Structure 1
Amino acid sequence: MRSGDQLVLLLIIGIIGIALFMGLRSRLNKSAQSKWVLVPDEEIPVTDAVALLENAGYEVMTTKRKIPIRMLVDDQEELFSRYFVDHFAQSEDKWYVVKIARSRNPFEMRGSSIRDQLLPYQLIYLEAAGVLYVDVSLQKIVKIQFELEI
């Protein structure tokens, strides 16, 4: 090998090293950022729940959203289910997952009920400031914020 060849080889190795470093840094930055973005709907039908939220100072951002869930049981049986979010709403710089009370699915304001029925929404949308539970029949909005003590 000539002396010039060694310099070219070192340059190539340096360029490859820098490219790998930049690619790894970019990938780490992307994984740290949220992959989910709240895209507001252009038009929100005004229902009793939407009116209640707006009168309380919230801006309703979306209509109902479906969250599909695929589950693999024992590495072979594939099951499907879904969660539904009634709305996303914003107040100041914070946004919330909105669940509307249903008469066919009564809800008790107890720790275990809140955990079982509403915590999954907070865990799905970690960026949310909390969950708004809207009971139109009582004209009530309950803001629930979760703190995990790990």
Structure 2
Amino acid sequence: MQNADVLVFLLLVAILLVWLAGLFRKWLTAPPKTIRVVEPDEEIPVTDAVALLEESGYEVMTTKRKVPIRIRLNGDQELESRLFVDHFANDGDNIYIVKLARERQPMEMTGSGIRNQLLVYHLLYEEAAGILYVDPRQRTIHKIQFEVTA
């Protein structure tokens, strides 16, 4: 009976070691999380949107930022594109991405409309607390936060 106990114990230890080795290997090969640091601009021109954000208790940190994107198509063709972030703002505790409403590209305030236009910014700057969708004409600010559930 003692030999059987030792055998079961060794089998459990072997299974545990294989499982831990798999977790360690997965951790080693996982891509590092990139944290994008938002450097504040020294001067922010006061626009209607900036004034609205400041009236609402936000500090506007940046002017428009261009995020270049390199795309590889079928492994041999390289394309370039870009995204624009209108501003970054903070409320003292959190940083938010600011997107301004565009007359030419109105956003439908539905789940799919918001997802199609803004989810990419959430995925690009995961450390942001959310996205502020600002419409200076209507003087509205919508705070949008995504939670991706699997």
TM range (shorter): 0.7 to 0.9
Other-structure match for 2:20 = none
In the superposition, the TM-score normalised over structure 2's length comes to 0.77
Asked whether 1:92 is paired with 2:92, we answer yes
Deviation at 1:92, TM superposition (A): 2.2
Question: For residue 139 of structure 1, what is the aligned residue in structure 2?
Answer: 139
Alpha-carbon deviations, 1:108-147, whole Å to 9, x = none? Answer: 1000010010010010000000000000111000000010
Q: Following the alignment from structure 2 to structure 1, what is the Cα–Cα distance between the partners of residues 146 and 129?
A: 9
Write the distance in 2 (CA, Å) between the matches of 1:106 and 1:38: 27
Counting aligned pairs with the same residue, the percent is: 61
Q: Secondary structure at the match of 2:37?
A: coil
Residue identity in the other structure for 2:55: N
Distance in 2, matches of 1:109 and 1:62, equals 26
* Distance in 1 (alpha carbons) for counterparts of 2:61 and 2:70: 26
What residue is the counterpart of 1:42 in the other structure?
42
1:82 aligns with 2:82: yes
Amino acid aligned to 1:91: D
Aligned to 2:55: 55
1:4 aligns to what?
A: none
- How many residues align structurally? 121
The code of the aligned residue for 1:103 comes to E
Q: CA RMSD in A?
A: 1.5
Distance across 2 between alignment mates of 1:37 and 1:92 = 16
What is the TM-score of this pair, normalised by structure 1? 0.77
1:77 partner letter:
Q
| Alpha-carbon distance in structure 2 between the residues aligned to 1:55 and 1:135 | 14
| Whole-Å separation in 1 of the counterparts to 2:107 and 2:147 | 21
Query: Are 2:98 and 2:132, in contact at CA under 8 Å, matched by a contact in 1?
Result: yes
**Are 2:126 and 1:126 aligned?**
yes
Kindly indicate whether residue 71 of structure 2 is the aligned counterpart of residue 67 of structure 1. no
CA distance in 2, matches of 1:80, 1:58: 33
2:144 partner letter = I
Divergent runs of 4+, >4 A: none
Tell me the residue number matched to 1:109: 109
